[in-house]
Chains A and B, each alone.
Chain A
């Protein structure tokens, strides 16, 4: 029996989780199933982050993505799902053409991945990355950081504006 290290198995398990959930998102005919499958994908991605020693990012992923975005999506699904019927989730449009395009793009990218000699450089030590990320935010990336806060503010306002009902005056 070949020596398979535990990390490889775990990696493959989480990778399978991610990709499988993604496939469920893509191919499911029920939007609610897709939403929950998205949750699975996001969890899998967070696990992969941990694998890659990006613990802060993994935490942020779980918190924001799953705790925020996914909830929001679920809200939206629930708000619109009631009236809509199963036809909405039908994905009968252009499966073939989409498949071709995706296959093409995917193929090209796979080719790129395979045939590029990725330079293997010394990897980061396995250490908590929070401190480094924080330094990064307030160091070299302080400007984008501030801009991002602007963007969030405008998104906040924008979301309110977009979704409010017309006032009858």
Chain B
């Protein structure tokens, strides 16, 4: 494996960092003196330049032999303690090249969109500072050549997500959502950290301690067969990593933060919660695919949770009324599909879906942002309608992206989702159950997405009077990215046309060197073209059914959605509308439980620990009182006693001094007599 050393890779993350630093430290001054256009220039330029550099990296990689497509930019020796060595070094292989193109490309478009969307906001500079900082963190995450540097980026995107969700921090609901995102992410991060520890520790025990990806990959075989606490090390470590992924990529059980994250500005939702941050978990599994390939149990867990999440989130999305909530649950659901792909070993398919999803989901979010902007801030779809004519560009791009998301043939989403479903069925790790769940999810996706389209753009407008007057198309800065993304939603798909349809699946080929382990899996997979066609057609039919249901309910109004909602006493509807009460369950169990534990600890600290301390203090006081008592009574008493006795003795003895000479004479005579007698006898 030949590695080419370059020195320009560091600028890809550093340029946005510089933009963040300038805007963050001096933004308020710059905005006052030079206006918002200066801020925009400072913010957008680095991302665009980073995109250019990413393209350069891509071209450079293309020029290399497939087995040697590795670029390394070692910037700085960071940690060098014993066997733990981690540098600040950036690593580009086909996988991370794809990621940086997506991040800088779509990120750049969203930056441009934001210049229009956030135009009225006074904290314009702060938004772009955070946005640039996020871009830096995300690029560090995908470019880092070691688990530790990736984790730095991992934490960084979590932090920026928190800052951007709670951007309008004067409203408590926004800050609460930000807190929720950060705290739930933290739980996942804990799993990630444990995974890092376990991998390093086990590799160290085998003699090859390292956190650098290429080293881990090289020595991964030495972990085979090792167990810790009765479990295979690789399984345990990959499970820990997957916990981190569920946190960052919003899978069951740590998905609850993503719908609340919609409190943030819409470009944030587009960039972070559709295109990039939430895909970090998928990327991480792709990066560590050689470890996951050694742990079939974990892969089963990954696929299972991914499928469950895909289905679960889609059911909730059916009944949501907020335009962004629907898209949020849709994101959770689509991420579930990506994890299904990773779980069955179809890493390339998962990453492909990641890329296509980035395009159309970003387009959808930005489109919804445009709708909200045009509706003067209204987000409830029940108050929308008839926007198709008033906001044509938005409508058409939204429609294109919806078609891509639902997997309409010939759109990018069709190719990528179909690839996942096929692999779910045919891969040695996959089975028919996963496929069935996936297909049902696809059907529901079509249903809720077209419900959204019909409610928002078709029919008569249900908006308030003064809002309806102001409906207008968004400015160029906002519509241009929409158009670009919509075009991308269609065209990107053609990178990954599978073989059975005649395409060369260039995407998979491109990623082949990274997923060498997937190679063996592909060799074992079924290559029945006929079966593939059949399954594809079934999924298309199911999706079409979903479309029809939405069409009937929301376009033709042939049946009343409310009547359906009241089926079975309205219980299923309420269950779905309240998101299966998961948030409430978490609150009652986890949050209350944690607060209970902390209350117990606090009580313990206050009553027992403080009690002990106070008790010791009281004991000391008591002892010193005793001491004082002893000192006063005994010691002083002794001293006083001696003095008093001496005094008494003195006062008695001095009576000898009678002053009477007569007495003295008696004494003399008496003494002499005694002596005389003593001598005599």
Closest CB in chain A relative to B97 CB, distance in Å:
128
Q: Mark A86-111, 1 if CB is under 8 A from B, else 0.
A: 00000001100100010011001000
A112 on the B face (CB < 8 A) = yes
CA distance A5 to B680 in the complex (A): 36
CA distance A112 to B680 in the complex (A): 8
CA distance A161 to B666 in the complex (A): 29
Knowing A108-B680, A112-B680, say if A101 contacts B673 (CB, 8 Å): yes
CA distance A28 to B673 in the complex (A): 26
CA distance A105 to B680 in the complex (A): 12
Which residue of B666, B670, B676 is within 8 Å of A108 (Cβ)? B676
Asked whether B673 lies within 8 Å of A105 as measured between CB atoms, the reply is yes
B669 on the A face (CB < 8 A) = yes
B534 on the A face (CB < 8 A) = no
CA distance A105 to B670 in the complex (A): 9
Closest CB in chain A relative to B674 CB, distance in Å:
11
Knowing A108-B676, A108-B677, A108-B680, say if A101 contacts B669 (CB, 8 Å): yes
Asked whether B662 lies within 8 Å of A105 as measured between CB atoms, the reply is no
Chain B residue numbers with a CB within 8 Å of A94 are: 662, 666
The secondary structure that dominates the A interface is helix
CB nearest to A101 among chain B residues:
B669
Chain A residue numbers with a CB within 8 Å of B673 are: 101, 104-105, 108
CA distance A93 to B664 in the complex (A): 14
CB nearest to A94 among chain B residues:
B662
CA distance A104 to B674 in the complex (A): 11
Asked whether B677 lies within 8 Å of A97 as measured between CB atoms, the reply is no
CA distance A93 to B660 in the complex (A): 11
Closest CB in chain B relative to A88 CB, distance in Å:
14
Chain A residue numbers with a CB within 8 Å of B676 are: 105, 108
CB nearest to B681 among chain A residues:
A108
Chain A residue numbers with a CB within 8 Å of B680 are: 108, 112
Asked whether B662 lies within 8 Å of A93 as measured between CB atoms, the reply is yes
Closest CB in chain B relative to A68 CB, distance in Å:
25
Closest CB in chain A relative to B259 CB, distance in Å:
121
A-B contact count (CB 8 A): 17
Closest CB in chain A relative to B662 CB, distance in Å:
6
CA distance A94 to B665 in the complex (A): 12
CA distance A105 to B666 in the complex (A): 12
CA distance A97 to B670 in the complex (A): 11
Closest CB in chain B relative to A110 CB, distance in Å:
12
Interface residues of B in 628-681 (CB under 8 A from A): 662, 666, 669-670, 673, 676-677, 680
CA distance A4 to B603 in the complex (A): 125
Interface residues of B in 566-596 (CB under 8 A from A): none
CA distance A86 to B355 in the complex (A): 147
CA distance A101 to B669 in the complex (A): 8
Interface residues of A in 27-79 (CB under 8 A from B): none
Closest CB in chain A relative to B670 CB, distance in Å:
7
CA distance A94 to B670 in the complex (A): 15
Chain B residue numbers with a CB within 8 Å of A108 are: 673, 676-677, 680
Chain B residue numbers with a CB within 8 Å of A104 are: 673
Chain B residue numbers with a CB within 8 Å of A97 are: 666
CA distance A101 to B677 in the complex (A): 13
Q: Mark B228-271, 1 if CB is under 8 A from A, else 0.
A: 00000000000000000000000000000000000000000000
Closest CB in chain B relative to A115 CB, distance in Å:
10
Chain A residue numbers with a CB within 8 Å of B677 are: 108
Closest CB in chain A relative to B677 CB, distance in Å:
7
Chain A residue numbers with a CB within 8 Å of B662 are: 93-94
CB nearest to A111 among chain B residues:
B680
CB nearest to A93 among chain B residues:
B662
Closest CB in chain A relative to B349 CB, distance in Å:
136
Closest CB in chain B relative to A90 CB, distance in Å:
13
Chain B residue numbers with a CB within 8 Å of A112 are: 680
CA distance A97 to B663 in the complex (A): 11
Chain B residue numbers with a CB within 8 Å of A105 are: 669, 673, 676
Interface residues of A in 86-144 (CB under 8 A from B): 93-94, 97, 101, 104-105, 108, 112
Closest CB in chain B relative to A118 CB, distance in Å:
16
CB nearest to A109 among chain B residues:
B676
Closest CB in chain A relative to B480 CB, distance in Å:
131
CA distance A105 to B676 in the complex (A): 9
CB nearest to A97 among chain B residues:
B666
Chain A residue numbers with a CB within 8 Å of B666 are: 94, 97, 101
Chain A residue numbers with a CB within 8 Å of B669 are: 101, 105
CA distance A165 to B669 in the complex (A): 34
A contacts, CB < 8 Å to B: 93-94, 97, 101, 104-105, 108, 112
5 further contact pairs, Cβ within 8 A, besides A101-B670, A104-B673: A94-B662, A101-B669, A101-B673, A108-B680, A112-B680
B contacts, CB < 8 Å to A: 662, 666, 669-670, 673, 676-677, 680
15 contacts between A and B (CB under 8 A): A93-B662, A94-B662, A94-B666, A97-B666, A101-B669, A101-B670, A101-B673, A104-B673, A105-B669, A105-B673, A108-B673, A108-B676, A108-B677, A108-B680, A112-B680
- Closest 7 CB pairs between A and B? A105-B673, A93-B662, A101-B669, A112-B680, A108-B677, A108-B680, A94-B662
